[in-house]
Amino acid sequence: MASKSLICGLLTMCLLAGVAAAARAGKHSEAAPAPLEPTLSNDDLRLEGEKRFRANCGRCHQSPHKFPPRMMLTIERHMRVRALITEEDMRMIVRYLNQ
């Protein structure tokens, strides 16, 4: 009985979180893009990207070399799922690694 309740609870959490997040994303998709990038110069963006790269990627492994941009896009998607890096961090990191 307890385990059934646990499953129901987890599935309900999944459903609610998914619905809530999807609803919020719908609103966000109509809004302006990330606030940070338009206000920074190229040098600032590079420094910010490097900082986020070291903080996020360096937690698990050594600095990887730069891959071609199309490979970086795939790696970005993989690491968002695997390491749960935030969307903005990932965007800044990819921009830094593609420079």
Shortest distance (Å) from residue 73 CB to another protein:
4
Shortest distance (Å) from residue 93 CB to another protein:
12
Shortest distance (Å) from residue 31 CB to another protein:
12
Q: What are the residues binding another protein (CB under 8 A)? A: 3, 6-7, 10-11, 13-14, 17-18, 21-22, 24-25, 28, 52, 55-56, 58-65, 67-71, 73-78, 80-89
Crossing angle of helices 69-83 and 87-98, rounded to 10°: 150
Q: Which is nearer to another protein, 3 or 42 (CB)?
A: 3
C-alpha angle 27-24-86 in degrees, rounded to nearest 5: 110
List, as one string, the DSSP characters of 54-96.
Answer: HHHGGGTSPPPPPPPHHHHHHHHHHHHHHH---HHHHHHHHHH
Q: How many Å apart are CA 76 and CA 73, to the nearest integer?
A: 5
Shortest distance (Å) from residue 46 CB to another protein:
17
Q: Which is nearer to another protein, 38 or 68 (CB)?
A: 68
